Structure 1
Amino acid sequence: MENIQREDIHLVAKHSNLSANAIYAALRDQVYPKAHAWHDFLRLFLLIFGVGFSLLGIVFFFAYNWADLPKFTKLGLVEGLLILLTGAALYPRFSPQTRKIVLSGSALIVGLLFAVFGQIYQTGANAYDFFLAWTVFISIWVLIANFTPLWLFFLLLINSTLILYQQQVAADWSPVLFNMALALINAAALCIGIGLSKSKTPRRIPTYFSNILSLASVSFATLGIVIGIFDHDFTELAIAASFTALGYTFALRHAWKQGNGFYLAIVSFSLIIIASAILLDILEQLTSILLVSGFLIGSVTYVVHLLIHLQKTKTHGTPA
């Protein structure tokens, strides 16, 4: 039997006459991490924290000594560190995972370099220009490294660039359709990841990657619809609701088929928020507060019960 969980062993132990030693052996072989797993975890954990704290130390160094450093020193230190990290990422004796983490550190240094350059020469560029340049200049590294955390950071830069562009340049854009566009961008990245995991040559896509993208997509879609409800822009609201309904249908179908409670949870809570916004918009203030409070209590209770039922069905094969 593959993918044996702790709950499976506990269930078998409860309904059988297995000895304590046999149960412990099953937990040790199937659930508890092995020594090499702890070694790999600690190595990566310490490496990530080392790179992260080193970058923070550099930022604080510049912040504290900014007025006393000449321009050449400011740029030279950042560029030297960028070259050093990029060279370390190309060093063949490091493991592939280590090289990807170091290259991710280099991608962060690129942003620091642009920030230092902008502060020295007071370029006057908008914030979205900074994030756009950062996104463009690390694109090749993201493709080459193919490292999930770096992909997440890359998508974060894309979202930040678009949001800042809308706030600083395109303020006349419809907030409903803009949030829906952000939802579609994140949903497209999620679909690509799911497609790669089910292709002929499947690639392992970490669960946290799919969960973060799905949460971002649902959050933007929910925000767009809620804004449309309170602005009474029914044409744009209908467009956003149509795309959202289509996406939620596929998400719920996938969640129920795969037994994925996370997708079911975020879609359910999104629908609860949207329904609450509708009630607040159409009812009087005092009545709406009372009704929405009761609706929230009842709907959240039902969703939690449904998720517990789904989890028990997934874990034990039959609902409890």
Structure 2
Amino acid sequence: MNHPPSQQDWYRFVRILLLTLGIGFTVAGIIFFFAYNWDALPKLAKLSITGGLLIATTLLSLRPQFDPLIRNILLTASAALVAVLFAVYGQIYQTGANAYDFFLAWTVFISIWVLAANFPPLWVLYLLLINTTILLYADQVANHWSDKLVFTILFLVNLVALIVSKVLLKAGKTIPTWFTNLVALAAISFSTLGIIIGIFGNKEFDFWLLVLLAALAYATGIWYGFKQHSLFYLSIIPLSLIILITTWILRISDDSGGFLLASFFIIGSATVTIKYLLDLQKKWAHEQHGN
């Protein structure tokens, strides 16, 4: 069973929160500084200030005198400043690049930092950039891609990230639970959205491919949830299934009867799922205390 956080845990949480907010507000202040004084600053000053801050933040993150957590947070701030530098450069010289080019370059240029730091919040930023790049590429370049194909790709990207994190965790690497849960939630969200679009659209190959991949992933997730006594996977997967079945009910019957049936299904399925999960939690707690 999980124990309530101790005073030391709260102290560490508040310390990290305040430090993160301080650095985050500093980066935001730099962005607003350029936005407000853009016309008044010469080109050289714009690039020098941004580049100087980026170099200074990166060098501070390399100082061994600092706590490793502080160094990683500073490196995350440096990763954000890379985007500021690219944005300033693009605005000065009007490169005319697509939005996906900006996010792709941002992703590529911080890849070494992400791998070297192995800092979960920085990995979250990295995955967010990858997902954003794919979405913008599909919107601006690959216009022939269907929405179902795009969500299938996003689902696979996050699913692979989840599998890799689980393998590393099993190999002894320290990976926080919140990170794997966040990646799993992103993967299931993309699969759910893609299947919903397919239910209301054409049932083409990419739709059935997504359904097949999602079915395999969901079955594996249910198995993993029972094996590891993880209520998280046993909660989000049934939630996704409830949403998909409700969508299918509304698709085949969009009149008042369909809405009534969907309402009853949501209430009934949610009640049964919650009751089962509560009983399962009590059973696992009893087994743990018995051991």
Bucket of the pairwise TM-score, normalised by the shorter protein: over 0.9
Q: Where do residues 27-106 of structure 1 align in structure 2 (5 Å cutoff)? A: 31=4, 33-35=6-8, 37-106=9-78
Provide Cα deviations, 1:3-62, integer angstroms capped at 9, x if missing partner. x645xxxxxxxxxxxxxxxxxxxxxxxx55244x45543433322122111111111111
Query: Secondary structure of 2:256's match?
Result: helix
- Decide which of 229, 236, 239 is 2:206's aligned counterpart: 236
Provide Cα deviations, 1:211-230, integer angstroms capped at 9, x if missing partner. 11001100111111111111
> Counterparts of 2:52 and 2:5 in 1: how far apart (Å)?
43
> Counterparts of 2:234 and 2:99 in 1: how far apart (Å)?
36
Q: Which runs of 5+ in 1 are unaligned?
A: 7-30
- Decide which of 147, 162, 167 is 2:139's aligned counterpart: 167
- Decide which of 101, 119, 130 is 2:102's aligned counterpart: 130
Query: Secondary structure of 2:39's match?
Result: helix
Q: What TM-score do the two structures reach when normalised by structure 1? A: 0.86
Q: CA deviation at 1:262?
A: 1.1
- Decide which of 155, 164, 172 is 1:192's aligned counterpart: 164
Structure 1 residues 57 and 273: alpha-carbon distance in aligned structure 2, compared to 1, 3 A threshold: same
Structure 1 residues 102 and 41: alpha-carbon distance in aligned structure 2, compared to 1, 3 A threshold: same
Higher Rg of the two aligned structures: 1
Deviates more, 1:71-80 or 1:130-139: 71-80
- Decide which of 216, 219, 228 is 1:246's aligned counterpart: 216
Q: Where do residues 103-118 of structure 1 align in structure 2 (5 Å cutoff)? A: 103-118=75-90
Alignment partner of 1:300 is 2:270 = yes
Provide Cα deviations, 1:103-127, integer angstroms capped at 9, x if missing partner. 1110000001111111111111111
Provide Cα deviations, 1:167-186, integer angstroms capped at 9, x if missing partner. 11112102112211111110
Aligned residue in 1 for 2:186:
216
> Counterparts of 1:306 and 1:248 in 2: how far apart (Å)?
18
Letter paired with 1:221: S
Q: CA deviation at 1:99?
A: 1.0
Alignment partner of 1:262 is 2:232 = yes
Structure 1 residues 275 and 5: alpha-carbon distance in aligned structure 2, compared to 1, 3 A threshold: closer
> Counterparts of 2:130 and 2:107 in 1: how far apart (Å)?
7
Query: Secondary structure of 2:38's match?
Result: helix
How many residues are matched? 288
> Counterparts of 1:293 and 1:234 in 2: how far apart (Å)?
29
Q: CA deviation at 1:232?
A: 2.8
Identity of aligned residues (%): 48
Q: CA deviation at 1:276?
A: 1.1
Aligned residue in 1 for 2:115:
143
Q: What TM-score do the two structures reach when normalised by structure 2? A: 0.94
- Decide which of 126, 130, 138 is 1:158's aligned counterpart: 130
Provide Cα deviations, 1:114-156, integer angstroms capped at 9, x if missing partner. 1111111111111100000000000001011111110111010
Query: Secondary structure of 2:143's match?
Result: coil
Letter paired with 2:13: F
Q: Which runs of 5+ in 2 are unaligned?
A: none
- Decide which of 260, 273, 290 is 2:260's aligned counterpart: 290
Provide Cα deviations, 1:264-300, integer angstroms capped at 9, x if missing partner. 1111111111111111111242221111111111111
Letter paired with 1:316: H
Letter paired with 2:135: I
> Counterparts of 1:166 and 1:114 in 2: how far apart (Å)?
22
What is the root-mean-square deviation in Å for CA atoms of aligned residues?
1.6
Provide Cα deviations, 1:225-263, integer angstroms capped at 9, x if missing partner. 111111132433222111111000000000111111111
Letter paired with 2:267: I
Query: Secondary structure of 1:136's match?
Result: helix
